[in-house]
Amino acid sequence: MDIHEYQAKTILADFGVSVPPGALAYSPEQASYRARELGGDRWVVKAQVHAGGRGKAGGVHLCDSEHAIEDACDKMFGSKLVTHQTGAEGKGVYRVYVEAAVPIEQEFYLGFVMDRSTQRVMIVASAEGGMEIEEISADKPDSIVRSTVEPAVGLQDFQAREIAFALGIAPGLVSKMVRTLQGCYRAFSELDATMVEINPLVVTGDDRVIALDAKMTFDDNALFRHPQVAELRDKSQEDPRESRAADRGLSYVGLDGNIGCIVNGAGLAMATMDTIMLAGGEPANFLDIGGGATPERVAKAFRLVMSDKNVQAVLVNIFAGINRCDWVAEGVVQALQEVQVDVPVIVRLAGTNVEEGQKILAKSGLPIIRANTLMEAAERAVGAWQNDLSMGHQLRIAK
Ligand code: ADP
Ligand code: MG
């Protein structure tokens, strides 16, 4: 789960990281009021969306009057901000963060990520702050400092000092840098984050070390341990298909193709998507119904997949271990009776109770296209979708 910059800054400040004074606003008037409350004469108004690259996309405005703040807000509120991280559809701006403008002397990049190869938290830092890490690693790879943290002892002060020295920070500021690194590391590990990124972390003219931007991502599977983090979720920033699925206990990933996939297990989802591509099609999503799926759950899955207007064929691919093919088949039949499914449906079942499952599908009298292997299923899905386009929907299930 991603959170907003202002939320990440609040969390990091609790862990001892310095951030500029700032306040949240839901309207242009509130933004200028917040600026007055903050005091000073230069502010930065920042669109709160779950994506980086806002600066270059018109989502960060430096303002020197309340009038300029309202102007900047008028441009941003209600718009869709398109950055290189949002995709073409962009992300809606419903909140802005008003912050004191900070005089920047030096900018750093600071990131904390899970490094799968060492199975450790890795700190990635560079004195080339302000640029995206992808650009830094392409243009200035030598500037990148990497350091992995030994989980049994956590980040040690000497290790944090080593990073600070490697970044070439002034000796008088090393202890502030260590405090920042320690704060980020503790926030990362205590809150089960999967990523903490401060870009830029700046040194100011008056020798402060301040996080000007902050991004945090959390492990969804650990959110139950952190209700105070879980409640920071902002559904307006998520793919509505994915949040609807999450609310129903299903795991859904929206994609751009037109074959809807209902599967059990992420591995099977990957294999199904690969096979669809191999057969010349493109998946519209991957929807994982998980283990032990009841007919109701399968029906819910169909409703979700059919709510995506791009879906022109549905492929159900189940390898039942804990699941039971007969239950899945019942779910498919139930769904086709209840839900408006006006596209071809291809079902491939294997594993527990497969014969019973096939019988249920055959007896239903519904025009379900059956397949025995994954390749066959993918080819039939792609074929049915292509035929469907050329035959004027004759294969569609009449309701
Ligand atoms: P993004 O990474 O989404 O573009 P940032 O928060 O990093 O957004 O802002 C973009 C740039 O705006 C920063 O690199 C920095 O130069 C400037 N900036 C952001 N916040 C402030 C601030 N409080 N004071 C001065 N400059 C800022
Ligand atoms: Mg940034």
Cβ–Cβ < 8 Å for 305, 381: no
Question: Which residues line the pocket of ligand 1, CB cutoff 6 A?
Answer: 20, 44, 46, 52-55, 60, 99, 101-102, 130, 199-200, 212-213
**Spatial separation of the C-alpha atoms in residues 378 and 279, rounded to whole Å:** 6
Amino acid 3 reads I
Confidence of residue 398 (pLDDT cuts 50, 70, 90): very low
DSSP, collapsed to helix, strand or coil, labels residue 9 as helix
End position of a domain, from candidates 47, 68, 101: 101
The tens digit of pLDDT for each residue in 150-182 reads 999 999 999 999 999 999 999 999 999 999 999
pLDDT (0 to 100) of residue 389: 55
Ion ligand 2 residue ranges (Cβ < 5 Å): 199, 213
Distance 211 CA to ligand 2 centre (A): 10
51 touches 222 (CB < 8 A) = no
Sequence-distant (6+) residues with CB within 8 A of 240 are none
Asked whether 115 and 225 are in contact (CB, 8 A), the reply is: no
Same domain, 94 and 145: no
CATH of the domain at 229: 3.30.470.20
Q: What value does the mean pLDDT of the chain take?
A: 92
Asked whether the predicted pLDDT for residue 220 surpasses 70, the reply is yes
Ligand 1 atom with the smallest distance to the CA of 104 is: 25
pTM of the prediction? 0.78
Nearest Cα residue to atom 14 of ligand 1: 130
Asked about 109 being catalytic, the answer comes back as yes
Q: Of 289, 236, 279, which Cα lies nearest the Cα of 259?
A: 279
Q: Structural domain tally of the chain?
A: 3
Q: 127 and 83, same structural domain?
A: no
Judged against a pLDDT cut of 80, whether residue 391 lies above it is answered with no
Alpha carbon of 276 to ligand 1 centroid (Å): 42
**Ligand positioned closest to the Cα atom of 45:** 1
Question: For a substitution probing ligand 1, which of 18, 50, 60, 110 has the most ligand atoms within 8 Å of its CB?
Answer: 60
* Same domain, residue pair 120 and 184: yes
Query: Is beta strand 215-218 parallel, antiparallel or unpaired with respect to 96-100?
Result: unpaired
Name the pLDDT band for 390 (thresholds 50, 70, 90). low
Name residue 243's amino acid. S
Distance 341 CA to ligand 2 centre (A): 44
Alpha carbon distance 361, 371 (integer Å): 12
Nearest to 304 by CA among 273, 296, 361: 296
Residue-range definition of the domain harbouring residue 20: 15-101
72 vs 135, more confident? 72
Tell me, yes or no, whether 223 and 199 share the same domain.
yes
364 pLDDT exceeds 70?
Answer: yes
pLDDT confidence of 254, banded at 50, 70, 90?
A: confident
pLDDT category of residue 388 using cuts at 50, 70 and 90: low
Residues 392 and 271 both lie in one domain: yes
pLDDT band at 392 (very low <50, low <70, confident <90, very high): very low
- The mean per-residue pLDDT over the stretch 265-278 comes to 93
Per-residue CA distances from 297 to 316, 330, 340, 364 (Å): 13, 11, 16, 19
3-state class (DSSP) for residue 170? coil
Q: Which of 6, 97, 109, 185 is catalytic?
A: 109
Q: Of how many residues is the chain composed?
A: 399
227 plus 248 within the same structural domain: no
Q: Are residues 74 and 184 in the same domain?
A: no
Q: Cβ–Cβ contacts within 10 Å for residue 381, how many?
A: 31
pLDDT-derived band at 88, boundaries 50, 70, 90? confident
pLDDT (mean) for 338-348: 89
Same domain, 190 and 312: no
H-state helical runs in the chain: 5-14, 28-38, 66-76, 133-139, 157-166, 174-190, 227-230, 240-247, 266-278, 295-306, 325-338, 354-363, 374-390
CATH number of the domain encompassing residue 79: 3.30.1490.20
- Per mean pLDDT, which range of 95-109, 239-253, 260-274 is the poorest? 239-253
Q: Is it the case that residue 148 has pLDDT exceeding 90?
A: yes
Same domain, 125 and 231: yes
Amino acid 103: pLDDT:
95
What average pLDDT does this structure show over 282-311? 88
In angstroms, the CA 193 to CA 199 distance is: 17
Which ligand does the CA of 6 lie closest to? 1
Residues 249 and 361 in one domain: yes
* Cα of 334 from ligand 1 centre, angstroms: 52
Among 99, 128, 197, 330, which one carries the catalytic annotation?
197
Token pair in block for residue 209:
């070390």
Helix/strand/coil (H, E, C) string of 50-69? CCCCCHHHCCEEEECCHHHH
